[in-house]
Amino acid sequence: MPIPKITLLPLVIMMFLIATALIAEEKDPPEEESDLKHLPQPAPERDETLRNQAVAAQLALTDKTTEVTWLGSGKEQFLALYLPDSSGKPFVNTLILHDNLQNPDWPGVIRSLRKELTRGGWNTLSIAVPDYQPRPAIPPLKPDQPEATGRVLEELDTEATEPEAMSEDNDEPAQTMDDRAPEDQVPEELSQRILLATQYINGKNNYPLVIIAVGSSATLLLKQAQSGSLNDVNGLVIIDPLPLPGLKDIDLEMAESDLRIPLLDIAPEFNPRSDPEPRAANARRRQQSLYQQRILRGSNRDFNGAEQRLMKTVRGWAEKLFRRQ
């Protein structure tokens, strides 16, 4: 007996509704999966960290005598390379700070210092230095340019209508580390690294501590010495300090510096990045007996080919100060 056509209509409607519901379920993502998209993502690794991770991996394969470690915690970790004295007669610890955008095993002066000094009674710790990358200065806008004027007015209007974040303690705008200029962040960050590195190496061996710094690090170290913020340090070696744009309160010519610890100033004969003569002249004028300067004759700013003479200069200076006490 044939089924009446009118009885098929509800069945067709039911099948259509079921199919529509299944399609809708496939299109809508699960609630948990969609919520994951809104979770905060981890901050990217800094260029400095990525560079030094490669250095650490390379040394793990090629240099079994270097003790590779990371000091600090979290995103503030930094690479440190420790080598103990190999002469059997240690007398001094040294902390080595490389030039800007380099690493603790940089070929040339840094690698020579951290390895060769260990043959003469030194325990060396070469650490990573934070990158110094000041923000470029924005040139002033000319008022006679219509586009510039309109942009200035637009920025002024934005500043007037958008409230600034306030700190909890007062009504001043809150300032985070990311908001501060890099030239303000680096000295503070380097100071913290020096503190951690000093604690690390002094925990291994209780000897006088000398800090050796090259280029930009020499300038930052000189700034810390002038501010009196270096503790538990017995001597400084600055190698061709580099003028840093935007760095405030630095007396690179040492016109008013009052040295409290011995300082050895090493400069190349050709193309120094800062003029060494004013530093020597001011030290003589102020009768700074703790200051000594050495110009390496025939050397250029990278000291290529002059590493051994530089090493001999540093060793001789430290021998007189610390081994013969």
pLDDT at site 13: 64
Cβ atoms 116, 108 nearer than 8 A: no
pLDDT-flagged residues of the chain (< 50): 3, 33-34, 36-43, 148-149, 152-181
Bridge partners for 197 per DSSP: none
φ, ψ of residue 94 to 5 degrees: the values are -135, 140
Instruction: List CB contacts of 216: < 8 A, sequence separation 6 or more.
Output: 99, 100, 129, 132, 241, 242, 244
pLDDT at site 182: 54
pLDDT at site 53: 95
Domains detected in the chain = 10-35 (no CATH), 47-131+178-323 (3.40.50.1820)
Segment 208-262, tens digit of pLDDT? 999 999 999 999 999 888 887 788 899 999 999 999 877 777 888 888 777 889 9
Q: Sheet containing 67-71: give its strands across.
A: 67-71, 78-83, 122-127, 92-97, 209-214, 235-239, 263-268, 291-296
Question: What letter would DSSP give residue 5?
Answer: G
Region at 232 (left for phi over 0; alpha for psi -120 to 50; beta for the rest): left
pLDDT at site 89: 95
Instruction: List CB contacts of 308: < 8 A, sequence separation 6 or more.
Output: 112, 116
Assigned token pair, 238: 């600055």
